[in-house]
A and B are shown apart, each in its own frame.
Chain A
C-alpha cells in the first residue's frame, strides 16, 4: 500500500516531518514557520555530557520539543507512543499505514543504510516519515534527503530500536486533531517570546551566556587538554553548527527566514529588518566556522589562534544579545 504523500526536502528533520505531515493534512506550513513557532533556536553548552568524546553543544532545543510546542501553540493534538516490544511497534505502524495515515518516527542514524557514511554516528534523535509498505519494504520520506528512500522491515526495526542516549524505543507520532483554522499570529508571538527568553536566559551554559562560557573554555583548551583534544573539541563545535539540518550558520538562516515570514503574517516591518540582522549574524557564525576549521586543519595550537576564535565567539554573543533584546521589544 502506498499513501498519496508528497515528499518535500527540508533542512532539518524534525521541522521537516512536522511541515510535511501538516501539508499532507491540508495546512500549508513552511519549515521556518514550524521552527519559529516551535522555538527551535537555542545555544547550549553541556560540559559534563560527552558526545563522541567531546563536550556536547547544541544549537537547537531538545528533540521532540519543536513539535510539542508547535502543536500546543497552533492548537493541534499529537498522538505519541513508545514500545518495549518491536513486534508491537511494527503492528501499530502497519495499522496506521492501512488507515492511510503517514506517521513520524524517531530513529537512530547509526544503522540508517541510505544515510551518508560520514554522518552515521550513534545519534538517536533523527526523524522521518513512513508513507507506505510494499511487501517487506517500507516507503520512507526522510525530510533531509532530496528523494524518498526505502528500508526493509528488519532495517527499520534496527533504527527504531537503536540504543544509547535518547533511545527512540520505537517512538511513533502523528497529528490527530486539527482546529478549523490555525491561529498563526498568536502562535508566532509565543514562539518568538520563548526564543528570546531562552537566548537571554540567566543560566551560564544557555543562550548568549552559554556562548561566552564556551569562549572562556576555548581559551583554556590548548593548555588544559593538549593540542589534539583541543582541536577535536573545536571540530565538534563546527560539526554541531553545520551538521545536516542547520541550514547553515547553526539554524540562524532558518530563523531569519522565519522572521521574514512572520513580518508578513503579523504585518510588522520591524521583523523584516530584524531578519536582515539575523542573516548578518548567520554570516558571522560561518566566518567563525571557517577560522575554527583552519586551526584544526593545520593542527596548530598557537594559543593566540584559540584566543582569536574565542574573541569571535564573544563578538557573536554580543551581537545576539543586542538582537534578542530588540526582537523582544519588536513584538510587544
Chain B
C-alpha cells in the first residue's frame, strides 16, 4: 500500500476522532508511517458485529418479557458477554450461571447473589429483577 492510498473513510457524521497508525510505502518504495481515519470494509464489519449484539439483546429482552428466561440473560447480552465470561466475573461455575437463567431459579436467588449480578452490570437490584423498571 502506498502512503497516498492509506484509507481516510471516516464519515462526516462520525464523532470519534481516533486515527490509526499504518505502515505504507513512500514514492521511493521505502516504508514510512501514516494515519488513517478509517476504512469502509472494516467499518462495515464492526457495525455488523455491533448490530448482531443489539439483535441478541433485543431477542433476549423478548424472551424475558415472555418469561422464557431470566433478566440475567438480557443484561449478559447487553454487556457483550457469554456464559463463561459472565461466570468468571461473578465467580460462579458456568453451570450455576446457566441455572440462574431459568426463571424459576432466578426468583429464588438470594439478595447476595442478586447483588453480585447487579453490581457487575452496574444496575440496581430492582432493575435486575425487572428489566423495564423505571421505564
- Contact code string B4-24 (vs A, CB < 8 Å = 1, else 0): 001000000000101111111
- Contact code string A51-66 (vs B, CB < 8 Å = 1, else 0): 0110000000000000
Stretch at the interface among B67-75, B77-85, B111-119, B127-135: B77-85
CB <8 Å contact, A32 and B31: yes
CB <8 Å contact, B88 and A279: no
State whether the Cβ of B42 lies closer than 8 Å to any Cβ in chain A. Answer: yes
A297 to B40, CA, bound (A): 11
Chain B residue numbers with a CB within 8 Å of A271 are: none
A239 to B16, CA, bound (A): 18
State whether the Cβ of B105 lies closer than 8 Å to any Cβ in chain A. Answer: no
| B113 CB, min distance to chain A CBs, angstroms | 17
CB <8 Å contact, A257 and B31: yes
- Contact code string A75-95 (vs B, CB < 8 Å = 1, else 0): 000000000000000000000
Q: A144-B20, A276-B29 are in contact. Are A118 and B46 (CB under 8 A)?
A: yes
| Closest Cβ neighbor of B17 among chain A residues | A146
Q: Chain B contact residues (Cβ within 8 angstroms of A): what range?
A: 35 or more
| Closest Cβ neighbor of B30 among chain A residues | A260
A binding-site residues for B, Cβ under 8 Å: 9-11, 32, 52-53, 110, 116-122, 144-146, 163-165, 167, 231-232, 235-236, 238-239, 242-244, 247-249, 253-254, 256-257, 260-261, 275-276, 279, 282-283, 286, 289-290, 292-293, 296-297
Residue contacts A-B, CB under 8 angstroms, 25 given: A9-B21, A11-B20, A52-B80, A53-B82, A110-B79, A110-B80, A118-B47, A146-B19, A164-B88, A238-B42, A242-B39, A242-B41, A242-B45, A247-B21, A247-B23, A248-B24, A248-B36, A276-B29, A279-B1, A279-B25, A286-B1, A292-B41, A293-B45, A296-B44, A296-B48
Extra contacts, 20 of them, besides A144-B20, A163-B85, A239-B42 (Cβ < 8 A), are A11-B21, A52-B80, A53-B52, A118-B46, A122-B81, A146-B18, A164-B84, A167-B88, A232-B48, A243-B42, A248-B24, A249-B1, A253-B22, A257-B23, A260-B30, A260-B31, A261-B31, A276-B29, A289-B42, A296-B44
